[in-house]
Amino acid sequence: MQYLLLIYAAESQWSTMTEEQGAKMMAEYGAFTQGIIASENYKGGNRLHPVAKATTVRVRDGKTVMTDGPFAETKEQLGGYYLIEAADLDEATAIAARIPGARLGSIEVRPIIGM
């Protein structure tokens, strides 16, 4: 099965990190990503720019309406994701727990509907 692991955290946690802390975090992410590539769980993943750079698009009555910012204002924001292949939810949640960001914020594990 495939799962999308959505990484949520308060963006302020990243912005208030010292350079050293930030570098350490990035190194941990690098090691984690290499780990799930090696175990063949990795299908994809990216880090996202902060919500300040988000644009929300809606189409109403055939007209495209754009607004600055995220779809919803929340305490924790989506900061990145991994797409993984896992045997079952237990394997997926075990991988999610190893994402460095799980210690800062939370990881939402969403099963992908096979098309």
Query: Which residues would be at the binding site for other proteins (CB under 8 A)?
Result: 1, 3, 86-90, 92-93, 109, 111, 113
State in angstroms the smallest separation of the CB of 3 from other proteins: 8
6 three-state secondary structure:
strand
State in angstroms the smallest separation of the CB of 72 from other proteins: 23
103 three-state secondary structure:
helix
State in angstroms the smallest separation of the CB of 113 from other proteins: 8
48 three-state secondary structure:
coil
CA distance 73 to 79: 14
Give whichever of 4 and 54 is closer to other proteins, judged by the CB atom.
4
Give whichever of 44 and 111 is closer to other proteins, judged by the CB atom.
111
Structure letter (DSSP) for residue 113: P
